[in-house]
Structure 1
Amino acid sequence: MREREKGTPKVGSDSQLESSVSELLPLKVKDLPVINTRNPEDFYQLFVSAIKETKASPGLIWNSFEDLEESALVRLHQDYLISLFPVGPFQKYFPTSSSSLLAHDHSSITWLDTQTPKSVIYVSFGSIATMDENEFLEMAWGLANSNQPFLWVVRPGLIRSYEWLESLPNGFLEMIGGRGHIVKWAPQQEVLAHPATGGFWTHNGWNSTLESICEGVPMICLPYSGDQRVNARYVSQVWGVGLQLESGLERGEIERTIRRLMVEEEGQEIRRRSIELKEKADLCLKQGGSSHQSLESLISYLSSFKGLLHN
Structure 2
Amino acid sequence: MTTTATRPAAAAPVPADLRRSALPLRRRLTDGFSKSLMGLALMIALIPLGLVIFHVASRGLALISWDFLIEDIPNSARRAGGGMGPAVAGTLVITGAAAAMAIPLGVLGAIYLNEYGKQNALARLIRTMSDVMTGVPSVVMGLFIYVSYVLVVKEQSGFAAALALGCLMLPVIIRSSEEMLRLVPDELRQASAALGARRWKTTISVVLPAAISGIVSGVMLAIARAAGETAPVVLVAGTIFTANWSLDGANTTLAAQIFKNAGEPFPAAQERAWGAALTLMVIVLLFTVASRLISSRFAIKER
TM-score under structure 1 length normalisation: 0.21
If you compute each CA radius of gyration, which structure gives the higher value, 1 or 2?
2
Q: Which has more helix, going by share of residues?
A: 2
TM-score under structure 2 length normalisation: 0.22
Higher RCO (CA 8 Å, separation ≥ 6 residues): 2
